[in-house]
């Protein structure tokens, strides 16, 4: 029996991870293929879209004309969802997909069923609008801010997710999943078992104490906006007040300018909340335990731990492109990759990342911490011309 193979594609600042599982069906050797995410960030070098074509070509070649058994969209960020739409619209290339699992909150009726999450999501959307308006008015801003704005722009992300919902496969084969989803009828392979550690069904908790920083909105119990209220550009028209008598005009407008600049912190909060809705999948095969984490951040790791889900794994897709906040806290990391390492047993880790795209990512200390516990490789270590990192797990098991 061949090895199980994981290929972590270099899509710059994004994720695309193909898992190929060999198995026998009715005595015949077949391969089951699962793709976790496909996308990269907008703006900057880390979001170069030219990387998509060789990746979609390689996946199509490996599928050899058979459909992809499962596509998993971990969360609704551009750097995880953009690839298929780009391939279809720009490159005119598609692949067939049997079924797709999208994070639960991507379902069109999700926020009708979860009022608390709805309230938080609307607050985040309004804050995003305000932040975008304020930052847009600034003369100069960090390229990081552009990435965050693009990554969290629901308008542009929506097109990509609509494609995944409606066109990637038959909408009847699209499943919106959370930790509690019954996967027994959805398993893409007979020899492997997939289980979900995250996200929670109600994503409200991931927003934590998120509140809009000076964003000009009240998140009161009686004043919930509706999604429809977000149409139109009213929130972008912020009229500058006139300084009061006795206050230097320069100092007053300086104060307003800096308050607007601080709005970028709001963007980070929104970004974290969405990261924490990541689908975290454990794939078990012949005794191997392989974990695919999307961009789950600490709040999600703590919730996974609270549910006693965290256990030792043999492969870790490092979360959130190697950020400090994507790494589990030490006590949880110790459960995931316990030390000392078991002698003679493989323990691998992979990070898909690109520098100077997102503030503080990748974080060298964080990656050093993983390196102490596992054989870590980064897509940045790939030799020129190499398309992916490859990991093999023998069928005989650990």
Partner 1 sequence: MRIRAPLMIQDPDISQMEVGRLVEDWLRIDEDHYLDGPITPRVAVVDLNPDTEALEPGAVFIPPEGRRTLGSYKVDRKRIYSPHFIQVSVFATVLRTMYMYEEQDTLGRRVAWGFDAPQLLVVPRAGWWANAYYERRSRSLQFFSFRAGNKLIHTSLSRDIVAHETAHALIDGIDPDLYDALDPQSLALHEGVADLTAVLIAFRSGKLRRAVLDKTDGSIEKSTNFSSIGEQFGRAIDPSGQAGWLRNLLNEDKLDPDGDPADEPEEHELSQVITGVLYRFLVELHTDYKRRLAARFGTTTFAVSGRALYGASEQFKRMILRGLDYMPPGEITFADYGRAILAADQASFEDDTWRRWLRANFVTRGIVRSESDLDVETNVPNRAIRDVDLQGLVDSDWVAFTFAEKNRKLLGIPPTAQFQVLPRIVVSKRFERAGESLERAAAAKEDTASDAGADGGAGPVKELLFKVRWSQKERNPRDLGGVSTRRIQTGVTLVIDWDQRLIRSLLGPLDLAGRRRARDTMLRRLMGRGLAQVSTPDDPDAVQQSLGTGIEAVVTNGILRIRNTGRLLHVAKDAGDA
Judged by CB under 8 A, which of 58, 284, 305, 324 binds partner 1? 324
85 lies in the binding site for partner 1 (CB under 8 A)? no
The whole-angstrom distance between residue 283's C-alpha and the CA centroid of its chain comes to 18
Name the segment binding partner 1 (CB under 8 A); options: 77-85, 197-205, 361-369, 384-392: 361-369
Judged by CB under 8 A, which of 76, 200, 297, 314 binds partner 1? 297
Smaller CB distance to partner 1: residue 23 or 271? 271
380 lies in the binding site for partner 1 (CB under 8 A)? no
152 lies in the binding site for partner 1 (CB under 8 A)? no
Q: Least CB distance from residue 238 to partner 1, whole Å?
A: 6
Smaller CB distance to partner 1: residue 133 or 290? 133
Smaller CB distance to partner 1: residue 359 or 398? 359
200-229 footprint of partner 1 as x/- string (CB under 8 A): --------xxxxxxxxxxxxx---------
Smaller CB distance to partner 1: residue 186 or 213? 213
Q: Least CB distance from residue 57 to partner 1, whole Å?
A: 35
Name the segment binding partner 1 (CB under 8 A); options: 13-21, 47-55, 167-175, 236-244: 236-244
Judged by CB under 8 A, which of 67, 115, 171, 360 binds partner 1? 360
CB 43 within 8 A of CB 76: no
Q: Least CB distance from residue 280 to partner 1, whole Å?
A: 17
Judged by CB under 8 A, which of 248, 340, 385, 396 binds partner 1? 248
- Say how many Å lie between the first and final Cα of the chain, rounded: 14
Residue 208 backbone dihedrals phi, psi, to 5 degrees:
55, -130
Judged by CB under 8 A, which of 30, 57, 143, 195 binds partner 1? 143
259 lies in the binding site for partner 1 (CB under 8 A)? yes
Nearest to 73 by CA among 144, 165, 139: 165
Smaller CB distance to partner 1: residue 57 or 305? 305
Smaller CB distance to partner 1: residue 289 or 299? 299
Name the segment binding partner 1 (CB under 8 A); options: 19-27, 59-67, 101-109, 266-274: 266-274
CB 190 within 8 A of CB 308: no
Burial level of 136, CB count in 10 A (0-12/13-18/19+)?
A: exposed
Smaller CB distance to partner 1: residue 226 or 248? 248
Q: Least CB distance from residue 254 to partner 1, whole Å?
A: 6
Q: Which residues within the stretch 48-77 sit at the binding site for partner 1 (CB under 8 A)?
A: none
Q: Least CB distance from residue 130 to partner 1, whole Å?
A: 9
Residues in contact with partner 1 by CB under 8 A are 140-145, 208-220, 238-239, 241-248, 251-252, 254-256, 258-259, 261-265, 268-269, 272, 297-299, 324-325, 358-361, 363-366
């Amino acid at each position: 029996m061949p090895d199980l193979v994981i290929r972590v594609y270099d899509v710059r600042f994004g994720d695309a991870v193909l898992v190929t599982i060999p198995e026998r069906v009715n005595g015949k050797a077949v391969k089951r293929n699962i793709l976790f995410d496909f996308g990269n960030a907008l703006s900057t070098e880390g979001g170069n879209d030219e990387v998509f074509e060789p990746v979609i070509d390689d996946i199509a070649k490996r599928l050899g004309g058979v459909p992809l058994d499962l596509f998993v969209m971990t969360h609704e960020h551009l750097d995880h969802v953009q690839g298929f739409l780009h391939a279809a619209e720009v490159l005119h290339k598609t692949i067939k997909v049997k079924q797709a699992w999208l994070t639960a909150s991507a379902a069109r009726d999700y926020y009708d069923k979860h009022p608390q999450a709805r309230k938080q999501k609307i607050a985040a959307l309004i804050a995003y609008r305000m932040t975008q308006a304020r930052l847009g008015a600034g003369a100069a801003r960090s390229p990081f801010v552009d990435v965050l704005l693009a990554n969290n722009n629901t308008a542009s992300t929506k097109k990509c997710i609509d494609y995944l919902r409606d066109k990637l496969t038959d909408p009847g084969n699209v499943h919106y999943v959370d930790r509690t989803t019954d996967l027994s009828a959805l398993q893409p392979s007979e020899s492997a078992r997939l289980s979900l550690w995250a996200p929670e069904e109600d994503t409200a908790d991931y927003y934590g104490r998120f509140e809009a920083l000076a964003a000009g909105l009240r998140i009161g119990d009686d004043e919930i906006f509706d999604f429809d209220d977000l149409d139109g550009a009213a929130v972008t028209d912020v009229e500058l007040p006139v300084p009061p008598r006795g206050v230097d005009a320069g100092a007053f407008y300086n104060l307003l300018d800096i308050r607007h600049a601080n709005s970028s912190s709001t963007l980070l909060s929104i970004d974290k909340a969405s990261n924490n809705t990541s689908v975290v999948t454990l794939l078990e095969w012949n005794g191997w335990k392989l974990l695919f984490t999307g961009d789950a951040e600490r709040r999600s790791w703590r919730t996974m731990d609270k549910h006693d889900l965290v256990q030792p794994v043999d492969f870790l897709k490092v979360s959130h492109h190697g950020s400090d906040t994507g790494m589990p806290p030490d006590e949880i990391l110790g459960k995931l990759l316990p030390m000392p390492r078991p002698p003679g047993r493989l323990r691998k880790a992979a990070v898909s990342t690109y520098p100077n795209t997102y503030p503080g990512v990748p974080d060298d200390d964080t990656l050093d911490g993983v390196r102490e516990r596992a054989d870590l490789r980064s897509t940045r270590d790939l030799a020129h011309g190499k398309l992916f990192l490859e990991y093999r797990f023998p069928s005989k098991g650990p």
